[in-house]
Amino acid sequence: MGIFKDIITTILSFKSYVLLPIIMLVLSIIIGLKLQKAIKSSITLGIGFVGIFIVFDYFVAKVGPVLKAVIARTGIKQNVMEVGWTPFAGISWSFKLVPLLILLILVINIILLFLKMTNTINIDIWNYWHFIFAAQLVYYFTNNAILSCLAAIFLLVLCIKFADWSSKDVEELTGLRGISITTLSAQAYYSFAVFMDKLFDRIPVLRNLEANPESIKNKLGFCGEPMSLGILMGAVLGIAAGYPVKDILDISITIAAVIYILPKMTAILGEGLMPISDGMKEYMLRKFPKFKDTNIGLDSSLIIGNPAVIVTGILLMPVALVFSFILPGIKFIPLGDLPNTIGAVVMIVVAMKGNVVRSFITGIPVIIGTLYTSSYMAKALTLLAKQTGYKVSGYDGLITSFYDGGNLLRFWCVRLFSGSLWTVACIPVVAFLIYFTYKTKRSNA
């Protein structure tokens, strides 16, 4: 077990934009893709991810100081520090059950494939941490390894099924064939979004409202361009931060550039993925006909560059900030994770087929619930961090993570397997959303 853990640690020491191309290269060789084509496609995939990370990191670096300035001008101070998702990803990989959990995740996925209970093979090893983190939290509350593993498996199965049901929607929105999204932080809200989308179909004003970036651009011309929204949002943030004109223009152009460039990076990802995806389809059809519809489960970063996703995320960022100021009982200001609003709404936008208005409205209750959940989880997350030796330099108070500490599906699952009675009362609601998604989207699988 120690050797296995060392191997996993070594593998995970690679950056995701290095690890994924290696995995895809091995997969390409297995399925019989020509070596030159396999190498080119894998490297292109890595380049696309590097491009996305560069642009997004630049966005975070530029927006972070603006948000700090906005918060400073309000004079509001909270007693919990929001540190983002990164520390908790690292904490999860230090969990003593990691080798067992990775083995379980792989085996359960393969079993489901052979039983034809899923069309998705989840090769996004880095994001296994989302399931491991749930197991770690259950272990924190219960000190029971069996319950911890069961919680991780339960979330894995749910996530894979959501990936199956949403795969056709992903293809329609992005044009990427044979791909499904297996990132729990994004898939957690897919079933709720599917329900809301059907609800919007019954509301006269919203029923026929076309609000994807392309239709908005056609109606409003340049003013409807996503980059124009970037200019506007940058100006609003700059003014709220009290910036001079020069800096307002700087942040405005920055956000416009991010909105414009990210879709280009996603196109590069698609260029690398499509030969591998098509090759896998041909291989499965030739060798394992009953697995011919198998999808490759990958990170939600594949969709993060979609204009509708970017626009929705940027629109919801100030909403999350305002709610953290005005809602009673919120104990933190979502500074560290706020830019990741874009990643959190990925599957909401997918379910809404790129409709920005529907996605924005659906995102509001998700943000409110996440704010309260991550506030509630602050004490547990802080103690868990201390147990693993994580410290924030110069700070010894409570910490939390907005989107991953407050992930609503994982929170419910963790408390369910930890024996909280209120979670039992929520089972009919969760079961209804899952069943509704199954009935609505099962033909996608």
Where exactly are the structural domains of the chain?
Answer: 15-444
Query: In the chain, what are the helix, strand and coil shares in percent, each to the nearest 5?
Result: 75, 5, 20
Cα separation, 421 vs 381, whole angstroms: 21
User: Which pLDDT score is estimated for 26?
Assistant: 85
List, as one string, the DSSP characters of 64-110.
Answer: HHHHHHHHHHHT---SEEE--SHHHHHHHHT-TTHHHHHHHHHHHHH
| pLDDT over threshold 80, residue 335 | no
Task: Find out whether 92 and 125 touch, Cβ atoms under 8 Å.
Answer: no
Total-model pTM = 0.84
Q: Looking at the predicted structure, is the pLDDT value of residue 1 above 60?
A: no
Q: State percent of the chain over pLDDT 90.
A: 35
Q: pLDDT, tens digit, for every residue of 160-217?
A: 999 999 999 999 988 888 889 999 999 999 999 999 999 999 988 887 777 676 666 6
pLDDT of residue 189: 96
Reading phi first (left if > 0) and then psi (alpha if -120 to 50, else beta), residue 393 is in beta
What pLDDT is attached to residue 93?
Answer: 84
* Average pLDDT rounded to a whole number, residues 16-34: 81
Q: How far is CA 275 from CA 41, 230, 288, in A?
A: 7, 33, 19
Residue 224 is predicted with a pLDDT of: 60
Angle at which helices 145-174 and 190-200 cross, to 10°: 50
394-413 average pLDDT score: 89
Cite the DSSP H helix spans in 128-244.
129-142, 145-174, 184-187, 190-200, 204-207, 213-220, 226-240
- Measured from the Cβ of residue 159, the count of other Cβ atoms closer than 10 Å reads 27
- 299: left (phi > 0), else alpha (psi -120 to 50), else beta? beta
Statement: residue 355 has pLDDT above 80: yes
Structure confidence at residue 42 as a pLDDT band (50, 70, 90): confident
User: Cβ neighbours of residue 47 under 8 Å, at least 6 residues apart?
Assistant: 268, 272
Nearest alpha carbon to residue 45 among 21, 13, 67: 21
